[in-house]
Amino acid sequence: MDQNKFIDDLISQMTVEEKAAQMLQVPVSVVGMDAAREWARKGVGSFLNALGSEMEELQKVSCEESRLKVPVIFGIDAVHGHGLNRKATIFPSQLAMAASWNKDIAHKAAEVTATEVATDGIHWNFSPVLCLARDPRWGRTDETFGEDKYLAGELGAAMIEGYQGDDLSDDTSVLACAKHFIGYGEATGARDSYDTEITFRKIRDEFLPPFRKAIDAGCATVMSAYGSIDGTPLTVNKKALRGILRDEMGFDGVTVTDWDTVNALITRQRVCGNHGDASRLAADAGNDMIMCTMEYYDAVIEEVKSGRLDEAVLDEAVRHILTVKCRLGVWEKPLKTGKPGSIGCDEHHEAALEAARGSVVLLKNDGILPLDPGKKIRKIAVIGPNADDIRAQYGDWTYFTHPVPGIEKEPERPYVTLLEGIREQTESTGIKVEYSYGCSVNRMGYYKGNFAGIPEFMEQCYKDNAHRYDSYKEMPYINEAAAMARSADIIILALGDNYNQHGEYNDRADLRLSGMQEALFRVLSTLHIPLITVLISSKPLAIPEVVKKSDAVICAFNGGMYGGRAVAETIFGKLNPSGRLPISFPYTTGQVPVYYNQFPGWHEGRYVDCPEKPLFAFGEGLSYTWYEYSDLKFDAASKTVSVNVKNTGDKAGTEVVQIYVEDVVSSVMTAVKNLAGFSRVELQPGESKEVSIRLDDEAFMITRPDETRVIEPGEFVIYAGHSSKDEDLLKVSVTL
């Protein structure tokens, strides 16, 4: 079939109404099936959040009852696994997976997710998120790969290749969607979907690189962002969507708006006074498909018929949509078939476990870890609200939170919480494991979640008396936990946040531990019993006291279905952790931002009431062995860094070799250093390896005030080592 001729013929037969319908994505969970059927008859382009028999029926209506019988494509948010399906494999969050610094894990997670999504018949996955989380107060921090553009680009490209495979028409391939274009995570005050006070020069320098890699990886779709740049919403930002994305970067796929952003032009951002203006500007800016704004259909038809919008704008958008549909092969196979029986299969669960193992970051160890069951450990006290809460462990974007929020669902096995993981590891050792909830995560009066496992008295307080609830009333439960812990040899305390404290609409002003968690920690820390703290959270939290007074600290973020097992394996030494932080931890909320690659020049370089450096820096992470770096070299002709790495400990381990570049003098201010490459290296005790990493031109480029990208001749410093901290790095000066 001549694809271009087929598309030309189809567009020539379409009415303005049918073109407008092709540009619309309808949320079935919002409009209901009766309305969805009518949209299918009109020739709508896509449906969102339809599963099973609903999807089969809607595709049948589209293919048999619409005039031109153009199949629809079905979309879903499968952000860390096909999590809206209760039987599916749930991986660690993007932030947790980023802690692995492992492109193979990202690729495999996407490949498994694509297979399971396709097995449900779905064509389109709105993932990966390529925004940067440089202010962890932002509610969507967990959906990102962290704070760094290079790491986000590498892992994002790997996921895109995993989702899409070699051919989009394959049964197990789905469309990837790079989102959100662009600068969404940089909103002022970390306020989700708010204005972004950055320039396009900064966009090109810091936030565009991951999207460049996404386009190079062949990403078929891109989502425009909620927010705005300098007061112009991204939904109508022609420079971003047409000038940069299409004209400069050569993107030829489908652009789609985020949820109801065309309406937001009227209701929230107030740059349009009616749906006609909003729809015309959104289409003209370069959005091919409009997600969930039903008013767009009538409005854009009127704009074209009145002459205010050229019909050619719709033709261009429909051409992009039909081209992607041809690549998917929907005329031959209207629904994906996937791999029957693969959803939640053993092979996929093993991939989720490996991803969870890679996501564990050991941040502190005073020698207590790994625990040796043979060394007179009789009792372990597992305490804390997140020790046995799978909802907290999963985080956002699973069947607990979407597509309809606020509806309680029972957890679906299999999964392993931290408590269950500890019991697995001690099952045959004779060690007694006792558990106490300790306290709640949420602040009084703000609890919106499930009450499973919460003491009955506290549940009643939440339901009936939240406005009168006094924090001291939780002290009996904290004291109960302490009483249980007094006879223990080891305390394992799980703290953090839950899904009511992150995600869209859930930005935070305070990054301290919420509820009575700090009080719980202080009580337990006075018992002088070895204390291991595990942070199960969606983001870095400000926990300096916890770090200081704990004997060991493990960061688990949201580890997915087997996050608890991976942490337990780490605690008992079955797993030698190799995770490294993809995001920095602040001492206190007021220290934010603390991302590693800031500009120099701050007077004294610190606040008067806070340390200069972050609590933990980007790239940090310990293991149960040690690594020594030597003989750093840089070959300017090939731009290749080589360094010798030796395992100086007595255990086999995997080191993440990190390469950074500093531009010493340039015509605009540049970061103190930027990540430019990394490599995971497996080393036996005493083993040495030379690691070579070739850097691309991007590592040395800057964006000038006129927005051109150049490499300016001069001195550069090349760093290699264990983390972004200066004391962890070797360096060599070179001239290019």
Report yes or no on 634 lying in a domain: yes
Report yes or no on 498 lying in a domain: yes
Burial label for 658, CB within 10 Å (0-12, 13-18, 19+), is buried
- Say if residue 317 is in the same domain as residue 192: no
Report the alpha-carbon distance of residue 267 to residue 226 in Å, rounded: 13
- Say if residue 86 is in the same domain as residue 53: no
Joined tokens for residue 405: 């929020």
- Say if residue 89 is in the same domain as residue 185: yes
Of 232, 223, 290, nearest to 260 by C-alpha is 290
- Say if residue 63 is in the same domain as residue 174: no
- Say if residue 699 is in the same domain as residue 575: no
Which DSSP letter does residue 206 get? I
Beta pairing partners, 223 = 179, 256
pLDDT at residue number 655: 98
Report yes or no on 338 lying in a domain: no
Q: How far is CA 510 from CA 45, 73, 195, 244, in A?
A: 42, 41, 21, 36
pLDDT at residue number 132: 98
Q: Residue-wise over 631-650: b if at least 16 C-beta within 10 A, else e?
A: ebebeeeebebebbbbbebe
In three-state secondary structure terms, 641 is strand
The residue type at 504: E
Q: How far is CA 372 from CA 291, 387, 425, 553, 573, in A?
A: 54, 21, 11, 17, 8
Which DSSP letter does residue 622 get? B
Q: Residue-wise over 87-116: b if at least 16 C-beta within 10 A, else e?
A: ebbbbbbbbbbbbbbbbebbbbbbbbbbbb
Report yes or no on 584 lying in a domain: no
pLDDT at residue number 604: 83
CB 159 within 8 A of CB 106: yes
CB 606 within 8 A of CB 612: yes
- Say if residue 645 is in the same domain as residue 665: yes
Other beta carbons within 10 angstroms of residue 623's beta carbon come to 24
Domain extent for 54 = 1-76+286-294+307-329
- Say if residue 530 is in the same domain as residue 542: yes
Report yes or no on 443 lying in a domain: yes
- Say if residue 517 is in the same domain as residue 646: no
pLDDT at residue number 403: 78
- Say if residue 184 is in the same domain as residue 243: yes
% pLDDT > 70, the chain: 95
Report yes or no on 595 lying in a domain: no
pLDDT at residue number 253: 98
Q: Residue-wise over 525-549: b if at least 16 C-beta within 10 A, else e?
A: beeebbbbbbbbbbbbbbbeebbee
Other beta carbons within 10 angstroms of residue 461's beta carbon come to 21
Provide the CATH number for the domain around residue 528. 3.40.50.1700
Report the alpha-carbon distance of residue 159 to residue 165 in Å, rounded: 10
pLDDT at residue number 532: 98
State residue 606 phi and psi, 5-degree precision: -165, 160
Q: Model confidence over 282-307: pLDDT tens digits?
A: 999 999 999 999 999 999 999 999 99
- Say if residue 103 is in the same domain as residue 187: yes
Residue ranges of the chain with pLDDT lower than 50?
444-455, 457-458, 460-469
pLDDT at residue number 448: 40
Provide the CATH number for the domain around residue 680. 2.60.40.10
pLDDT at residue number 616: 98
Of 279, 285, 272, 205, nearest to 237 by C-alpha is 285
Provide the CATH number for the domain around residue 140. 3.20.20.300
Report the alpha-carbon distance of residue 655 to residue 499 in Å, rounded: 32
Q: Residue-wise over 32-70: b if at least 16 C-beta within 10 A, else e?
A: eeeebbebbebbbbbbbbbbeebbeebbebbbeebeeeb
Report yes or no on 352 lying in a domain: no
Q: Which residues contact 522 (CB under 8 A, 6 or more apart)?
A: 545
- Say if residue 180 is in the same domain as residue 154: yes
Report the alpha-carbon distance of residue 276 to residue 284 in Å, rounded: 12
Report yes or no on 663 lying in a domain: yes
- Say if residue 5 is in the same domain as residue 25: yes
Q: Model confidence over 429-442: pLDDT tens digits?
A: 999 999 999 998 87
**Number of structural domains in the chain:** 4
Report the alpha-carbon distance of residue 73 to residue 220 in Å, rounded: 13
